[in-house]
Structure 1
Amino acid sequence: MYRVAIVGRPNVGKSSLFNRIIGKRKAIVEDIPGVTRDRIVSTADWRGVTFEIVDTGGYIESDRDTFAPYIRKQIEKEIELSDAFILVVDGREGLTPADKEIARLLHRTDKPVYVAVNKIDNPDMEKSIYEFYELGFDKVFPVSSIQKYGVADLLDAVVQDIPEYEKKASEEKSKPEEKSEIIKVAIVGKPNAGKSSLLNAILGEERAVVSDIPGTTRDVIDTLFEWKGQKFLFLDTAGLRKKSKVDYGIEFFSVGRTLDAIKKADVIVHVIDAQQGATEQDTKIAHLIQKYTKPAVVVINKIDTVPPKSEVLNRIKNQVRERLYFIPYAPIVMTSAKNKKGIKQLLKEIIDVYNQSWKRVGTGQLNRAIKQVLSLRQPPSYHGKPLKIYYATQLEGKPPCFLLFVNYPEGFKDHFLKFLENNLRTVLGFEKAPIKLLLRGKENRQD
């Protein structure tokens, strides 16, 4: 059986990652360097692929530790026995001489090595991973064993290198993702923005606990609901608040569950308090929606608490749109959960957004649309040569993803791609859905 060894210096989170991968607490986890002395072997399963996972003792540089020579011997033995390695490093502490020493050992083999930069507890910390490329491995992943952040991406890379996986992967790709009859909806937003009240208004019953105390909802509540023949699965999540205001405990982990709900949902409902408008924290939540390319509806809730004048409501709506300019595709709905206003419009928008996220266009229509957009603005030159888009095609799945064959992929800068993306959404009828553009170089460039 394919064998993957987890290696690294003491106290970087190897055992926590091991437990996360196998799905149970088999390895001893303690915040004391060198707790895991022996190798622990278990069977793991990911994407239908089974493999052995090994938790090794922490690598210790100095012989002053009684167990150091023994642990080094165990790691060196695993280099012989294992087919691949996960090198765990501490993203908070940064790169250390011990990390470099272990990397030198692993470079003696041509087996795959995946660097797991652990303790990356939120997306803002991802930039700290770059120094670990100095170890000489190109597969570097930000992870948090505690919150499960990034572990899926790490395991995806591992199983892709397993020979038996290639056949399974091709079989899965031959079965295109199917549109579900149930729309999974994650309701997110700052604490006390009215998420639970909104869910109760939709359901017509007191299903979620409602309170004026921020953070009342600690977990994700799954609720099945049907409206006009359409089924919804609502995930009423705990509110996301600034990290500095989150205590390490129940609420800390609820943030992780909210992120999981965002990843799993088909549509995100981002609830904003009408009195406060879009705050800095709301922009961070919207950035998560953008990062995971999620279809979304922005809800300005509690409109019953502001003057019912059109100029007031328009001012609030314009402020929200300006602050959340990077998700322009998300329609805005104004609601009052208390008075049950705007609920039907919200449900209609969720359905429209979901359907657009599954929309497909023909290759001919897509390429005509690109030609139309380029007539408005040609791409800039790159090293004195004009950038060209030869043709494009839509890939399977959602959100809508378009593969563009170009002459110099590296020459297309973000500002031009954003211009192209925004105009394609309008021309192709994706006004309410995000789209992704992927660039691929064409071998025979027509310079």
Structure 2
Amino acid sequence: MSLTVAIVGRPNVGKSTLFNRLVGKRLALVDDRPGVTRDRREGDAQLGHLQFSIIDTAGLEEAKADSLEARMRAQTEAAIADADVLLFMVDARSGLTPTDRVFADLVRRAGKHTILVANKSEGRQGEAGFMEAFGLGLGEPVPISAEHGEGMADLFRALREVFPDDDEADEESEEPEEGGQRRIRVAVLGRPNAGKSTLINALLGEDRLLTGPEAGITRDSIAVEVERAGIPLKVFDTAGMRKRARVDDKLEKLSVADGIRAARFAEVVVVMMDATHPFEEQDLRIADLVLREGRALVLAISKSDLVRGEGGFLSRMREEADHWLPQARGMPVVLVSGLTGHGLDHLVQAVAKAHEVWNRRIATNPLNRWLTETTGEHPPPAVSGRRIKLRYITQPKSRPPSFVLFCSRADALPESYLRYLTNGLRTTFDLPGVPIRITLREKDNPYAEKE
């Protein structure tokens, strides 16, 4: 069994910087201002030969019960409860604060094995704070610099003491993994306050992600594993995306870039739209971004409990989707509500269906029969008095379905005829909701002059 280690401490002591160093990637957003991290983020960490799960948490703060800070603290307390080992981090440069002492008591009451980490200990400026950390009563502090990678050997030795023996670890690593089905990677995108985190919490059946009436709560792209209706998913919650002209804050730019990166690494993207204001310009921009990245698209109309009484609402949404997003005609449109749980099973089934279509391969013989029939009914137009011949089509790859069409005069084929072919492929071979890519290629002319 792999150990779970949680990094806790007050805001701006360097928890996310250490998290990124241990996982070997820049997964968590890092900035000089306090309070950047809000949700708890999990990752697979390695230090030396030690491999373990690591949890980055929001900074511990004292706050009123109904505030955003109090909900952030509840997420951190949940991480403490789930962890086997706690890394309690303090800032050696600024020294101990009353907040450090309050939360040291909280960590002590948790009864978990705790390693005191004095970050920013490089140079003489950190010496006083390092010595002061002894006063917390959590044992000898481990001096490190998460930003510069100093003190990692000391941290390794401190962690090594709580790990099982190597023989036990080897036996555990030889145990077969449960289940052989790979999880579908799903990113959830949308405008701020569209209900993305609430939806994922409903899928999980627990308050795993921070939610609330405030817009823009989510900053990092948080990955959680979900299994519903027998379909395993890895779902990425992302920050809300506003119009680019309105984004002037550095941290918001980083959050949006993190969300776009999650979409690029996903297989299916769920774009959430508010049922009371669907198909806003920004919704369409996000959906277009998803299709340009070549991902399968599912539209989730959130807050459906607010429009439940409107007859024909879903049919109207499907018509609107095909009108505004013809490049993914027939995409799944699902009414969902994170508060009531309505439509969650339909959403998961739509994701699985979109994933299957995105991976679909079509044999060459049916493709060329279709090409012959299609060009026979509606041949390509003559350009400058010369016909364009479409000779052969094949599908070299999927994810998304991509085709190569061999023809004469590829540069002269009109874009409108290419759209006609794309729509024909989508209808004939049942490829709804995914981008279809057609590459034109000319065969060498054997009668052309050769140098």
CA contact (8 A) 1:271 1:300 kept: yes
CA contact (8 A) 2:328 2:432 kept: no
Query: 1:242-276, CA deviations, whole angstroms, 9 ceiling, x for partnerless residues?
Result: 12221322111111111111111000101000000
CA contact (8 A) 1:369 1:428 kept: no
Query: 1:404-432, CA deviations, whole angstroms, 9 ceiling, x for partnerless residues?
Result: 10101101222211111111111112224
Q: How far is 1:390 from its partner?
A: 0.5
Residue identity opposite 1:255 in structure 2: V
- The answer for the alignment partner of 2:277 in structure 1 is 276
- The answer for the alignment partner of 1:364 in structure 2 is 365
CA contact (8 A) 1:373 1:424 kept: no
Q: Number of residues paired by the alignment? A: 272
Residue identity opposite 2:278 in structure 1: G
1:213 aligned counterpart, secondary structure: coil
- RMSD of aligned C-alpha atoms? 2.4
CA–CA separation in structure 1 for the residues paired with 2:353 and 2:297: 10
- The answer for the alignment partner of 2:407 in structure 1 is 406
CA contact (8 A) 1:286 1:327 kept: no
- The answer for the alignment partner of 1:379 in structure 2 is 380
Residue identity opposite 1:237 in structure 2: T
- The answer for the alignment partner of 2:196 in structure 1 is 195
CA–CA separation in structure 1 for the residues paired with 2:426 and 2:381: 21
Q: How far is 1:311 from its partner?
A: 3.3
CA–CA separation in structure 1 for the residues paired with 2:181 and 2:419: 30
Q: How far is 1:307 from its partner?
A: 4.9
- The answer for the alignment partner of 1:422 in structure 2 is 423
* Structure 1 residues 272-351: aligned runs within 5 Å: 272-351=273-352
Q: How far is 1:313 from its partner?
A: 4.3
Residue identity opposite 2:256 in structure 1: V
Residue identity opposite 1:383 in structure 2: S
* C-alpha distance 182-313 of structure 1, shift in aligned 2 (>3 A): closer
CA contact (8 A) 1:329 1:434 kept: no
CA contact (8 A) 2:220 2:238 kept: yes
* C-alpha distance 320-396 of structure 1, shift in aligned 2 (>3 A): closer
* Structure 1 residues 121-270: aligned runs within 5 Å: 181-270=182-271
1:386 aligned counterpart, secondary structure: coil
- The answer for the alignment partner of 1:431 in structure 2 is 432
* C-alpha distance 375-180 of structure 1, shift in aligned 2 (>3 A): farther
CA contact (8 A) 2:380 2:387 kept: yes
* C-alpha distance 318-426 of structure 1, shift in aligned 2 (>3 A): closer
Identical pairs, percent: 33
CA–CA separation in structure 2 for the residues paired with 1:264 and 1:307: 34
Q: How far is 1:329 from its partner?
A: 3.9
2:328 aligned counterpart, secondary structure: coil
Q: How far is 1:338 from its partner?
A: 1.4
For structure 2, the residue ranges without an aligned partner over 5 or more in a row are 1-24, 27-179
- The answer for the alignment partner of 1:82 in structure 2 is none
* C-alpha distance 229-208 of structure 1, shift in aligned 2 (>3 A): same
* C-alpha distance 319-355 of structure 1, shift in aligned 2 (>3 A): closer
Q: How far is 1:358 from its partner?
A: 1.1
* C-alpha distance 445-281 of structure 1, shift in aligned 2 (>3 A): farther
CA–CA separation in structure 1 for the residues paired with 2:230 and 2:396: 29
- The answer for the alignment partner of 1:96 in structure 2 is none
Query: 1:267-324, CA deviations, whole angstroms, 9 ceiling, x for partnerless residues?
Result: 0101000000110101111110121121110111111112512234443443344233
Residue identity opposite 2:360 in structure 1: K
* C-alpha distance 376-219 of structure 1, shift in aligned 2 (>3 A): farther
CA contact (8 A) 1:277 1:319 kept: no
CA contact (8 A) 2:391 2:406 kept: yes
For structure 1, the residue ranges without an aligned partner over 5 or more in a row are 1-22, 25-178
Q: How far is 1:445 from its partner?
A: 8.1
Residue identity opposite 1:301 in structure 2: S
TM-score, normalised with respect to structure 2? 0.57
* Structure 1 residues 5-20: aligned runs within 5 Å: none
1:326 aligned counterpart, secondary structure: helix
CA–CA separation in structure 1 for the residues paired with 2:317 and 2:398: 35
CA contact (8 A) 2:317 2:333 kept: no
Residue identity opposite 1:393 in structure 2: T
Q: How far is 1:396 from its partner?
A: 2.9
1:399 aligned counterpart, secondary structure: coil
CA–CA separation in structure 1 for the residues paired with 2:391 and 2:207: 56
* C-alpha distance 446-333 of structure 1, shift in aligned 2 (>3 A): farther
* C-alpha distance 235-386 of structure 1, shift in aligned 2 (>3 A): same
CA contact (8 A) 2:189 2:259 kept: yes
TM-score, normalised with respect to structure 1? 0.57
CA–CA separation in structure 2 for the residues paired with 1:350 and 1:412: 35
CA contact (8 A) 1:190 1:272 kept: yes
CA–CA separation in structure 2 for the residues paired with 1:402 and 1:385: 25
CA–CA separation in structure 2 for the residues paired with 1:434 and 1:373: 20
CA contact (8 A) 1:181 1:230 kept: no
Residue identity opposite 1:226 in structure 2: E
Q: How far is 1:186 from its partner?
A: 0.5
Residue identity opposite 1:412 in structure 2: L
2:372 aligned counterpart, secondary structure: helix
- The answer for the alignment partner of 1:143 in structure 2 is none
CA contact (8 A) 1:186 1:235 kept: yes
Q: How far is 1:446 from its partner?
A: 11
Q: How far is 1:379 from its partner?
A: 1.2
Residue identity opposite 2:320 in structure 1: Q
1:330 aligned counterpart, secondary structure: coil
Q: How far is 1:192 from its partner?
A: 0.8
